[in-house]
A and B are shown apart, each in its own frame.
Chain A
């Protein structure tokens, strides 16, 4: 089994790679490969889109690579391969992003990515640190992860999801912040599973065994 971690020149790829490698070894879940190549993505059984950074730049970097996004989209929406987006990789699943300028997302999960505006003006932006999850809809990838478990967040924009059924978990920051989105064979995390110690490693392990 091959899991492709998509490299589009964005963020802390190394941490994600090491965490996926560790959990793949623990559960005998095949090979993790870091790639920017469309043909490798096309062959992969699972796809992970990690990332840190601004929406327009990340999307531009991804689309700069010939055929790469098309390969991801075909694998996920046509071949129904399991997909995980992390942080900006999750935000790009939205219809639109509003960071700096309006940018079209993949439009896999309906909704908009907008600036965090806590109702308590003393709260800081970025939303940075550990927040406790509130699970809205149970999911196979969240097996063993419960409401109250902490995850590590660092972001200034958040995903306002249009359909309640596609928001799988949220956190409170003087208002709801979407933590997990998903439908069919795709799931996305606003927080960083690779930085979230026990709960995060559990999610990565579950994803590597997920057979939707």
Chain B
């Protein structure tokens, strides 16, 4: 049986982990490769590096990180942040990434997903979608989610100036050949209030490809809800693991105790 994945995400800037990672026994908590090794040993199912500055000058640093991580961690590694072209994908794959995540470039031009998937296969093309709830019905239930860029500050608009609907966009990039969606709720990110479950479930049910839930995890129950109520195939979290609130193993055992199939060995 396929297991639900737990994916720790490391925000990287200038080759160092930002937001901080606070593990016991870690020699250098700021070094992404050290953190990756710690998560590998801890039983993480995949790793994600997000290049948060993603300037052109920083690219070389990211390639170097991918290479050094691939030399030491024999587990799947996704890299995102500032990926714009199929050439960026190729360079990251050659450096050691297994999957590459598009974000704003795919919003600006969804065909970039098709070009990358045709060349490298859907299995290595992830599309990150950052969205928040923008409409509610009279009872306060969310009814619409739209895409935001620039760290949630700027609404993404289509050619007609209309905010881009997250569900429609998810279906579009699936049709273009994305292999997976990394869905971050911008209204929950950093709040520790739990995933945006209605949005996660609506999108996960609308597409056939796996959806990774992201944004807002504060407790182990949030991870469980992401799967049971959000219908996510994987859950991504940063701070609850980085700061040592919970270990990966604790999270997996708890999720398993709630009936979710997890990889425990």
Cα distance, A152 to B75, chains bound together (Å): 8
Main secondary structure of the interface of A (DSSP, over half): mixed
Q: Across the interface, which residues of A come within 8 angstroms of B263, CB to CB?
A: 130, 132, 150
With an 8 A cutoff between CB atoms, is A52 at the interface?
A: yes
Within A16-62, which residues are at the interface with B (CB < 8 Å)?
18-19, 22, 52-54, 57
Q: Across the interface, which residues of B come within 8 angstroms of A155, CB to CB?
A: 123
Please determine whether B70 and A18 come into contact, CB atoms closer than 8 angstroms.
yes
List the 3 shortest-distance A-B pairs measured between CB atoms, nearest first. A53-B121, A154-B123, A130-B263
With an 8 A cutoff between CB atoms, is B179 at the interface?
A: yes
Q: Across the interface, which residues of B come within 8 angstroms of A22, CB to CB?
A: 71, 74
With an 8 A cutoff between CB atoms, is A185 at the interface?
A: no
With an 8 A cutoff between CB atoms, is A2 at the interface?
A: no
With an 8 A cutoff between CB atoms, is B3 at the interface?
A: yes
Q: Across the interface, which residues of B come within 8 angstroms of A171, CB to CB?
A: 2
With an 8 A cutoff between CB atoms, is A112 at the interface?
A: no
Q: Across the interface, which residues of A come within 8 angstroms of B45, CB to CB?
A: 129-130
Cα distance, A152 to B234, chains bound together (Å): 14
Within A115-154, which residues are at the interface with B (CB < 8 Å)?
123-132, 148-150, 152-154
**Additional pairs, 19, CB under 8 Å, beyond known A128-B2, A130-B2:** A11-B121, A18-B71, A52-B120, A53-B120, A54-B118, A124-B209, A126-B210, A128-B123, A130-B5, A130-B45, A130-B263, A149-B265, A150-B263, A150-B265, A154-B179, A192-B76, A194-B74, A195-B98, A197-B75
In the complex where A11-B120, A52-B121, A52-B124 touch, is A126 in contact with B74 (Cβ < 8 A)? Answer: no
Cα distance, A54 to B177, chains bound together (Å): 12
Selected A-B contacts with CB under 8 Å, 21 pairs: A12-B93, A12-B97, A14-B93, A15-B70, A18-B71, A52-B124, A57-B119, A124-B208, A126-B180, A126-B210, A128-B233, A129-B3, A129-B4, A129-B5, A130-B5, A131-B2, A152-B75, A153-B2, A154-B76, A156-B179, A196-B75
Please determine whether B2 and A14 come into contact, CB atoms closer than 8 angstroms.
no
Residue of B nearest to A194 (CB): B74
Contact of B3 among A18, A52, A131, A200 (CB under 8 A): A131
Interface residues of A, CB < 8 Å — how many?
41
Please determine whether B96 and A197 come into contact, CB atoms closer than 8 angstroms.
no
Residue of A nearest to B3 (CB): A130
| Chain B contact residues, CB within 8 Å of chain A | 1-5, 40, 45, 67, 70-71, 74-77, 93-98, 118-124, 179-180, 208-210, 233-234, 263, 265
Q: Across the interface, which residues of A come within 8 angstroms of B96, CB to CB?
A: 12, 14-15, 18
Cα distance, A130 to B44, chains bound together (Å): 11
Contact of B94 among A14, A52, A53, A123 (CB under 8 A): A14
Cα distance, A172 to B3, chains bound together (Å): 11
Please determine whether B40 and A126 come into contact, CB atoms closer than 8 angstroms.
no
Residue of A nearest to B233 (CB): A124
Please determine whether B124 and A129 come into contact, CB atoms closer than 8 angstroms.
no
Cα distance, A192 to B210, chains bound together (Å): 18
Residue of A nearest to B177 (CB): A54
Cα distance, A171 to B1, chains bound together (Å): 7
With an 8 A cutoff between CB atoms, is A114 at the interface?
A: no
Please determine whether B2 and A195 come into contact, CB atoms closer than 8 angstroms.
no
User: A175: shortest Cβ distance to chain B, in Å?
Assistant: 12
Q: Across the interface, which residues of B come within 8 angstroms of A80, CB to CB?
A: none
With an 8 A cutoff between CB atoms, is A71 at the interface?
A: no
Q: Across the interface, which residues of B come within 8 angstroms of A196, CB to CB?
A: 74-75
Residue of B nearest to A127 (CB): B2
Q: Across the interface, which residues of A come within 8 angstroms of B71, CB to CB?
A: 18, 22
Contact of B2 among A53, A54, A173, A200 (CB under 8 A): A173
